[in-house]
Amino acid sequence: MLTDVVWRNAVKYQVREYRHAFWDGGTLLANTLAMAAAHRLPARLVLGFVDAELSRLLDLDPERELTLALVPIGATPDTSVLPAPPVTPLYLEIEPYSRRELDFPVIRAMHAASSLPDASAVAAWRSAPPHLARPAPTGPLTAMHPLADDERPPDPIEQVIVRRGSPRAFAREAISFGQLSTALDRALRGLNADCLESPQALLSEAYLIVNAVDGLAPGAYVYHPDRQALELLKTGNFRSTAGELALHQDLAVDASVAIFFLADLPPILARQGNRGYRAAQLDASLAAGRLYLAAYALGFGATGLTFFDDAVTNFFSPHAQGKSVMFLIALGKKRKRS
C-alpha cells in the first residue's frame, strides 16, 4: 500500500506536492514491481479502491496522509471470493513525524475530488478504462535495436536498486542507441493495472529531446511502442531548449537524452473522472521509475526534473497539442567528481 504524508514534500513544493507524491510513488512502485518480476511473483497495480475504508484499515489520518495505490503480490490456487470482513483499524502507534506540521487544504480537496465512495463506484470506475487512439506516424521512423541478452549486464535487480540514485551532473557524453533502445523497451513494454484497457494501453507517451546518442541524429522524437520505433518530429541541436524547458537546469542541457511523458487528459478524465488524473500521473511515474532502473542496470545515470508545463507541450506540438506533461527524466553518463 502506497501513501503520502503530505506536509513532508509540501514544505518545499507547496501545492505542487500533489504531483511529487505520484512522482516519488512511481519510483517505489517500479522497484516493487521489478522485484516481484525478478522473483516470478504475480503483481498488479490497483488504483481503484474505497479511499475512506483503506484509510480506516491503515488507521491513517486522511487530513495528513493520503492513500495512493495498492500492489497485490502473489497468487493462491483458491479462486473463490469470500465476503469481505468488516474493516477495522489496525490501531498502530506511530511516532510524531515532527513537532510542527504545515497544513495544505487545497491538496486535501484535490485528493477528495478523485476519491471513490463505495464498492459500486470502484466497480464502475474499473469497468471504464480509457481507449486512447494513437495517431499513425507521419514523420521518418527509426527502428529500435535493443541489446541482445549477452550484451546486457547480468547484475541482479537487488544490486541495481541499491546503486540507483540521481546524478548531480552529467558529462555531456553519448550513450549508445542500443542502450537507449533497451531502456525504452523495458520501461514501456506494458503494465498490469486496473486503470488500463490492456497492459500495452499506457496512458502517457514518451517524447524525447536527443542530445547525444550514438547512431541517432539529435532532435525531437516521439516513441511508438507498438512499432518499436522513434518518430522524428524535428531535427536540430536542442540542448539549450531542453534546459529551458526543465526550469533552466543544466542537467537537461548536459544529458544524453531528456524524456518527457505527456498524457492526453481530456479522454482519460471523460472515462475515469478526476481519478483519471491519479492514473495518468502514476502511469508516467512508473515508466520513469523503470527507466531509472534500466539506466543503472546499463551503466549510466538518470534523474527526474521539474519543468515548464505549457512550454513543453508547445515545443513538441503540433504532435503534442492539447496534452499535459506528467514527468521529465534525463538520462546520461554521470560526470566524475574532480
Nearest in space to 255 (alpha carbons), one of 211, 312, 208, 308: 211
**CA atoms 103, 104, 109, 110: torsion sign:** negative
Query: According to the 3-state scheme, what is the secondary structure of 40-84?
Result: CCCECEECCCEHHHHHHHHCCCCCCEEEEEECCECCCCCCCCCCC
Interval 259-314: pLDDT, tens: 999 999 999 999 999 999 999 999 999 999 999 999 999 999 999 999 999 999 99
pTM of the entire predicted model: 0.93
Closest CA to 19 of 321, 305, 314: 305
* Residues 94-118, mean pLDDT to the nearest whole number: 87
pLDDT digits (tens, 9 = 90+) for 38-83: 999 999 999 999 999 999 888 888 888 999 999 999 887 777 777 8
Residues 17-42, mean pLDDT to the nearest whole number: 93
Mean pLDDT value of segment 83-90:
79
Can you tell me the distance from the alpha carbon of 29 to that of 211, in angstroms, rounded to the nearest whole number?
29
The reply to whether 2-74+85-126 and 141-332 are identical in fold is yes
Q: Which candidate, 174, 193, 217, places its Cα nearest to that of 287?
A: 193
Distance in angstroms (rounded) separating the CA atoms of residues 118 and 36: 29
Let me know: does 221 contact 232? Beta carbons within 8 Å. yes
State how far the Cα of 29 lies from the Cα of 286, in Å rounded to an integer. 7
CA angle 59, 62, 64 (to 5 degrees): 105
Residue in 231, 233, 228, 221 with CA at minimum distance from that of residue 141: 231
The CATH code belonging to domain 2-74+85-126 is 3.40.109.10
> What is the mean predicted confidence (pLDDT) over 190-206?
92
pLDDT of residue 40: 93
Mean pLDDT of the chain: 92
- 3-state helix vs strand vs coil in the chain, percent to 5: 40, 20, 40
List, in sequence order, the alpha helices (H) in the chain. 6-13, 17-38, 51-58, 105-113, 119-126, 157-163, 177-187, 239-245, 250-254, 265-272, 275-298, 309-316
Cβ-count burial 18-39 (b if 16+ within 10 Å, e if not): bbbbbbbbbbbbbbbbbebeee
Question: First and final CA of the chain: distance in angstroms?
Answer: 42
Residue given cell 529500435 in the structure block: 144
Sort strands 2-5 and 65-69 into parallel, antiparallel or unpaired.
Answer: antiparallel
Domain locations in the chain as residue ranges? 2-74+85-126, 141-332
Residue 234 has pLDDT above 80, yes or no: yes
pLDDT given for residue 338 in this prediction? 63
Task: Tell me the CATH number for domain 141-332.
Answer: 3.40.109.10
Amino acid code (one letter) for 84: A
